[in-house]
């Protein structure tokens, strides 16, 4: 389902341009969240920037997903062969999954920031902040993995045959 109908930016397909923001921001936010959960001394200073980075990554993943759907439709319409149509494989679903985990990463990062910033006001049990930091690592790892998988399948989709042209094989 396309919500925004983003298909072009400055006359170029939007997906190849927007996807780069997602494949940089989401893994960066996932790693940054893991580090801030691990390094207690960094949590106060970096939990808010990490949450903002994760939200930007989720927004970029949404834009990449939304711009990919019209591109997929356009390529499938233009391609008359079933081989080109089948070549998309699982990439659209992988992009959807990566978006879901990017959103969960943003929620986890906001949760870490909120517990760190406001947790003392609510007289939380001693284990609650540590549990929050530990649980936050799950969407961080899954966001990183799913973004790598979706990015790799997209790169394979675009660049798979280029090496054979360059080497003459």
pLDDT of residue 106: 99
Residue of 28 and 15 predicted with greater confidence = 28
Report which of 90, 137, 136, 99 is spatially closest to residue 115, judged by C-alpha positions: 136
What average pLDDT is seen over the chain? 86
pLDDT of residue 2: 47
User: Which residues, at least 6 apart from 23, have a Cβ–Cβ distance to it below 8 Å?
Assistant: 147, 151
- What is the mean predicted confidence (pLDDT) over 61-83? 77
Tens-place pLDDT, residues 47-65? 999 999 999 999 999 999 9
pLDDT of residue 11: 77
Between CA 87 and CA 70 the distance in angstroms is 16
- What's the token pair of residue 58? 């989720």
Between CA 98 and CA 114 the distance in angstroms is 24
Q: Where are the domains of the chain?
A: 13-158
Is the pLDDT score of 1 beyond 50? Answer: no
């Amino acid at each position: 389902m396309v919500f925004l109908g983003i298909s072009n930016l400055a006359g170029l397909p939007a997906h190849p341009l927007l996807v780069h923001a997602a494949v940089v921001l989401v893994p960066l936010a996932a790693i940054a969240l893991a580090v801030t959960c691990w390094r207690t001394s960094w949590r106060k200073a970096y939990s808010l920037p990490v949450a903002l980075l994760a939200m930007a990554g989720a927004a970029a993943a949404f834009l990449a997903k939304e711009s990919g759907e019209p591109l997929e439709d356009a390529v499938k319409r233009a391609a008359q062969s079933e081989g080109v149509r089948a070549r998309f494989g699982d990439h659209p679903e992988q992009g959807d999954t990566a978006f879901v985990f990017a959103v969960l990463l943003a929620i986890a990062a906001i949760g870490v920031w909120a517990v760190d910033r406001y947790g003392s006001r609510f007289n939380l049990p001693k284990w609650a902040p540590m549990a929050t930091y530990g649980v936050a690592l799950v969407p961080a790892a899954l966001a990183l993995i799913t973004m790598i998988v979706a990015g790799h399948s997209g790169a394979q989709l675009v660049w798979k045959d280029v090496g054979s042209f360059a080497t003459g094989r």
